Structure 1
Amino acid sequence: MAIPTLQDAIDQAGSPIKLLWRPGAEPWTPEVVEREYSGWRQEQAAWHEGVALLNLSHHMYDMWIEGPDATKVLADHGANNFEKFAIGQAKQYVPVTRHGHIVTDGILAREGENKYLLSGIPAAQHWVQYHAEKGGYDVGFVTDPSSAFRPGGGDPKLFRYQIQGPLAAELVERVFGGPLPETKFFHSTAVSLDGRPIRALRHGMAGQAGFEFIGPWEHSAYVHETFLKAGEPLGLIQVGALAYATPSVESGWIPSPVPAIYTHPDLLEYRRYLPLFGIEGKRPLNGSYFSEDIEDYYVSPYELGYGKVIHFGHDFVGRDALVKAKEEPLRTKVTLVLDPDDVRAAVGQGEDPGFVLSYARHRVENADGLVGVTMQSASIDPVGTVLAQTLIDPEHAVPGTEVTVVWGEHPGSGTDPEADLGFPRIRATVQPSPFNQHARTLYRRDR
């Protein structure tokens, strides 16, 4: 029996929107990790005020790309600068369609002259592998799905532990007997823990300093326990699945934009290549913003803030479209600070709503109507309210601008997208993205 493809599902549903629209869909949180260890509020406070340990080992999909054409296939289908890509460096990989819309991003680490590791949700990996196979590139692939999708279960190939917060450097010195070698942001250095090889990637979240430690799974338990013991005097807090999903709202990263692959005739073969039971067919859409046209959910890498990583010094799929888009009045990424009293009224029915996490596309309006759409919203306890990463029309992107978020779940096809469904309105104020000043000004500058 043939495995159903993404195109099969679109044909059966009647449209991409009818396939993907699911009002009230539960927000994604990392699998195989406790929802909370100390409580989400304490866990958020840890990377702002102390030191936090986050386990990324289970929800990342890894694909190793190796061979004489490894750089070529990645450069032909990604907008990044491959002329300046050192071994040991990582980049936010930005593949786009011929029309200049993002497929999705991923973390691309260069492990050797002709070897890379692409990590994240698997949409970018699918894109690269398909084009490599179709184009006859001399390159091979080894994949390790996330733990929720690994055939037959089993352990991942790699562990990934993040150490974050103002006390991160002190914890690292306790574990390794001194400071690690000076390392640029998003570059890695090889280290050893009692003879166990580890790669330390200089990282950060919500503006705080830190490292991501990566190594063979066989050493995972030892490394994890070592960090826990060394961190006890510093008040180390483990971060659970709820809090883990929230720092992107402060640091300005919009996770899982809709892959722009559902409609164009030139991608029909690609949709027939993709299995239905993958990220492209199963990541739901919901919220108060509804359109029957899936293309209204497509985004440009410029809107996501990736303009600085786009490099026009080489030819790549989508290059011509991005050259044009650079001069177009695209939406601007901002952070909305939601009024806490309105959040209590709209989400908590008058009480503290507790933990709020939503990837819903909610309408953002002013007196004249629609001006933007939210991409991710989350409670940030150190801020005292909900923040929302939002794409908004440029004329409304000035910090301090007041707008309204329509908080609700449009039922989908059969109801007018502009219908007044009586959803509560939440007042909000526009602020920059990233919201955190350190994340906005310092830790990205040498990326």
Structure 2
Amino acid sequence: MGTADTQRSTYDAVVRLRDAPFVTRRPAYFSPAAAAQDASNSHGCFGEFAQTLLPLEYTDWVEESGAHVSACYLGDWSSLHKVVVRGREALGFLAWLGMRDLSRFEHGQIKHHVQLDENGWVASEGILCRLAEEEFLYTAGSGDWLLWQLSQGSWDAEAEDVSPDRFIFGVQGPASLATLENLTGESLRDIGFSRSRTTRLAGAPVRILRTGISGELGYEIHGPAERAAEIWAATVETGRRFGLCQLGLRSQPVQHIEAGIATNGLDYLPASILTPGAPTQFRRGRPGGSFVPENGITDYFRKPGELGWGFRKGTPGRDFLGRDALAADAAEGEPRRTLVGLRWNTTDVVGVLAASMSAGDLPDPMELPRGRGPVFDQVLVDGRPTGVSTGRTVSVSLRSTISLCVIDETHAAPGTEVVVLWGRPGTAQREIRATVTTLPFKPDRRRTDVCTL
């Protein structure tokens, strides 16, 4: 059985047995590049990203989490759900499902596709790429909401889950262009931000997308799973001269916080979890942190305006799922919260990190560079709840502990002093001082003019 067939059969088994205990009835599902990655995975440790097992780190998290700023990294996002939507009404369906305007959508263009439920909560979000006149690729943490919504209508369109058939590698950082141009043997400077085109790598057909998940100049490589290990190895070899670092799962989420990007399942829970379109991969555990919801699970949901994805000129008149709910919110002056960054007080953070070597009750530990899974922490001003912090991470590039925060607009001004309550209820909680700052935390270099490099 070849690599492609093995990936497909294992993927299908994992999806079919998604509620089964991992160690007894669920097969281990690895990246299609696992063989090439194994040569550098000296620690032999793996973590689960969606349904896929990926190396936690190759060298150490300090080096890897700063590589997108100092040089570039090669990271594996093959775990993302990949759904091809095609057909005469594919564009119409996608325009209705997402809140963004798709009326001007060029071939090869990439758009952020934010999908809402009928209440206006974010149900799913990811990247939509137009491959042809009637063919689109949606990549996200989960495409289950899209698949379910399509099955509920009568659209002249079809969707195909191609997740195990394709790999997605990220190459992000100032040296990403040099690495990929040397790898492909051709100029890639014609690819503008949020654009893509096809080329060949090691004789294999691939698509190069210019994306910006790191806040730096960066790209993605999409290609056939059966060539993933070969292309991973070739990228590592080519990138070595440019300082390329392989990025382990432990450090992957750091860049999102630095860039001010909320991540589905980590910084908010998708509203789709209450529906038959619930994400396949969000099956384990529950949110941690000090935040205690007053209204149940919906307190972990977010409206797009709370995540920086709202409309600048009011709710548009075109029809899309959740549009009426957003219009009603706007009429009521909602949302009254906005997304900001927090810089945590270093002395207070060190106090938590060093607690295990000091006397007194032990607070919840702080994993480095950040915790795994969703963690929601209560933010206070003068002792009163005013927001929720997520994604607490140590940024070696900024030499600071940072997080995202959905906060009341009255306390969103940069420089506002707040307190983050650290630790689950019932533990030795600590109050950590923090300062509100604008996002992103570092300069946005995603749209670097590559013609000047």
Q: Same fold (TM over 0.5)?
A: yes
- The residue that corresponds to 1:287 in the other structure is 289
8 Å Cα contact 1:200-1:213 kept in structure 2:
yes
2:90 counterpart (54, 63, 70): 70
- The residue that corresponds to 1:336 in the other structure is 342
- The residue that corresponds to 1:260 in the other structure is 271
* TM-score for the superposition, normalised by structure 2: 0.79
Quote the Cα distance in structure 2 between the aligned partners of 1:240 and 1:378.
Answer: 15
Cα shift readout 1:50-84 (whole Å, capped 9, x = no counterpart): 12111112x21111111222112212221111101
Residues 200-209 or 240-249, more deviating: 200-209
Look up the SS of the partner of 1:159 in the other structure.
Answer: strand
Counterpart code for 2:289: G
8 Å Cα contact 2:83-2:137 kept in structure 1:
yes
Look up the SS of the partner of 1:242 in the other structure.
Answer: coil
CA spacing shift, 1:350–1:381, aligned 2, 3 Å: farther
Aligned residue runs from structure 1 range 325-364, under 5 A: 325-326=329-330, 327-349=333-355, 355-358=368-371, 359-364=374-379
Structure 1 residue 347: Cα displacement: 3.8
Aligned residue runs from structure 1 range 392-431, under 5 A: 392-410=407-425, 422-431=428-437
- The residue that corresponds to 2:380 in the other structure is 365
8 Å Cα contact 1:254-1:389 kept in structure 2:
yes
8 Å Cα contact 2:173-2:214 kept in structure 1:
no
8 Å Cα contact 1:34-1:241 kept in structure 2:
yes
Look up the SS of the partner of 2:423 in the other structure.
Answer: coil
Quote the Cα distance in structure 2 between the aligned partners of 1:262 and 1:44.
Answer: 30
8 Å Cα contact 2:111-2:127 kept in structure 1:
yes
Matched, 1:323 2:334: no
2:190 counterpart (182, 195, 204): 182
Counterpart code for 1:325: D
Cα shift readout 1:6-53 (whole Å, capped 9, x = no counterpart): 9xxxxxxxxxxxxxxxxxxxx975743211111011112211111211
8 Å Cα contact 1:344-1:350 kept in structure 2:
no
CA spacing shift, 1:329–1:117, aligned 2, 3 Å: closer
Quote the Cα distance in structure 1 between the aligned partners of 2:137 and 2:437.
Answer: 35
Matched, 1:45 2:48: no
Once superposed, what is the RMSD of the aligned Cα atoms?
2.8
Structure 1 residue 278: Cα displacement: 2.9
1:432 counterpart (423, 427, 438): 438
8 Å Cα contact 1:54-1:240 kept in structure 2:
yes
Cα shift readout 1:97-135 (whole Å, capped 9, x = no counterpart): 22211112122222122211111222xx22222222222
Structure 1 residue 385: Cα displacement: 2.5
Matched, 1:247 2:255: yes
1:35 counterpart (52, 56, 64): 56
Structure 1 residue 329: Cα displacement: 4.5
Counterpart code for 1:259: P
Q: In structure 1, list runs of 5 or more residues that go unmatched.
A: 7-26, 146-155, 264-270, 412-420
Look up the SS of the partner of 1:64 in the other structure.
Answer: strand
- The residue that corresponds to 2:402 in the other structure is 387
Cα shift readout 1:276-295 (whole Å, capped 9, x = no counterpart): x8345546222101125222
Query: Which structure exhibits the higher relative contact order, with contacts defined as CA atoms closer than 8 Å and separated by 6 or more residues?
Result: 1
Counterpart code for 1:112: A
Counterpart code for 1:316: F
Quote the Cα distance in structure 1 between the aligned partners of 2:311 and 2:245.
Answer: 34
- The residue that corresponds to 1:374 in the other structure is 389
- The residue that corresponds to 1:223 in the other structure is 231
Cα shift readout 1:184-210 (whole Å, capped 9, x = no counterpart): 212101112243211110012332111
Quote the Cα distance in structure 1 between the aligned partners of 2:208 and 2:447.
Answer: 20
CA spacing shift, 1:262–1:169, aligned 2, 3 Å: closer
Quote the Cα distance in structure 2 between the aligned partners of 1:222 and 1:34.
Answer: 17
Structure 1 residue 380: Cα displacement: 1.0
Matched, 1:126 2:144: yes
Look up the SS of the partner of 1:314 in the other structure.
Answer: coil
Residues 278-287 or 354-363, more deviating: 278-287
Q: In structure 2, list runs of 5 or more residues that go unmatched.
A: 1-15, 20-46, 358-364
Counterpart code for 1:331: R
Look up the SS of the partner of 2:251 in the other structure.
Answer: helix
8 Å Cα contact 1:61-1:120 kept in structure 2:
yes
Quote the Cα distance in structure 1 between the aligned partners of 2:144 and 2:238.
Answer: 40
8 Å Cα contact 1:259-1:280 kept in structure 2:
no
- The residue that corresponds to 1:79 in the other structure is 99
Look up the SS of the partner of 1:204 in the other structure.
Answer: coil
CA spacing shift, 1:194–1:104, aligned 2, 3 Å: closer
- The residue that corresponds to 2:7 in the other structure is none
* TM-score for the superposition, normalised by structure 1: 0.80
8 Å Cα contact 1:403-1:427 kept in structure 2:
yes
8 Å Cα contact 1:338-1:427 kept in structure 2:
yes
8 Å Cα contact 1:346-1:425 kept in structure 2:
no
Look up the SS of the partner of 1:105 in the other structure.
Answer: strand
Counterpart code for 2:271: A
Counterpart code for 1:341: T
Count of matched residue positions in the alignment of Structure 1 and Structure 2: 390
Quote the Cα distance in structure 1 between the aligned partners of 2:132 and 2:212.
Answer: 24
Structure 1 residue 405: Cα displacement: 0.6
Counterpart code for 1:207: G
Matched, 1:298 2:298: no
8 Å Cα contact 2:254-2:369 kept in structure 1:
no
Structure 1 residue 297: Cα displacement: 2.1
Give the share of equivalent positions with the same residue, in percent. Answer: 28
Look up the SS of the partner of 2:161 in the other structure.
Answer: strand
Quote the Cα distance in structure 2 between the aligned partners of 1:207 and 1:262.
Answer: 29
8 Å Cα contact 2:259-2:442 kept in structure 1:
yes
8 Å Cα contact 1:303-1:331 kept in structure 2:
yes
Structure 1 residue 442: Cα displacement: 5.0
CA spacing shift, 1:278–1:348, aligned 2, 3 Å: farther
8 Å Cα contact 2:251-2:369 kept in structure 1:
no
CA spacing shift, 1:191–1:283, aligned 2, 3 Å: farther
8 Å Cα contact 1:29-1:245 kept in structure 2:
no
